[in-house]
Amino acid sequence: MILQIIKYGDKILHKKCKKIKKNILFEGLFENMFNTLLENMFNTLLKYRGVGLSAPQIGISLRLFIINYFDSRKNIFLNTKILKQFGVYKEYCEGCLSLPKSFYRIKRKEILLIEYFDEKWIRHNLLIKGFLARVILHEYDHINGKLIIL
């Protein structure tokens, strides 16, 4: 199923999202619903040819985003924390599915150390650099109620 993308102006895009609780998502009925949500998010991301999609962009205020960029895998990030940012700020032109056909020059650090949980609730620490770091920072901004135009 293709989900509707929430556009700029909707209040949910400006709210800090709630932390996901393992016991709620991964027990019984909710696990199936969560897996369906992830599948729908990836279908939506592919339909609109995006690289990343956050839960608030589909109207859900949870600390969840997905990325379809590296290793041809579906990459799911739950309760992501940025532990450290390194390097210099680099400017790059970014777009956003919630701001269709608009691009903005944004400065971001080029290297990140993050902590997150995957869809199996396994904790990961990951050092990321380059374009993927930029994508993660963009989606991380979404789950913290920030948009690239503000």
H or E element that contains 137: helix 131-143
Active site residue 31: no
Among 39, 91, 119, 139, which one carries the catalytic annotation? 139
**Range 50-77 average pLDDT:** 89
**Range 118-129 average pLDDT:** 93
pLDDT at 150: 63
pLDDT of 116 strictly over 60: yes
Name which of 64-78, 99-113, 136-150 the model is least confident about.
64-78
pLDDT at 18: 94
Asked if residues 20 and 107 have their Cβ atoms less than 8 Å apart, the reply is no
**Going along the chain, which residue ranges are E strands?**
52-54, 64-67, 75-96, 99-117, 123-129
**Range 78-86 average pLDDT:** 97
* Domains identified in the chain and CATH numbers: 11-143 (3.90.45.10)
pLDDT at 114: 98
Residue 71 binned pLDDT confidence (cut-offs 50, 70, 90): low
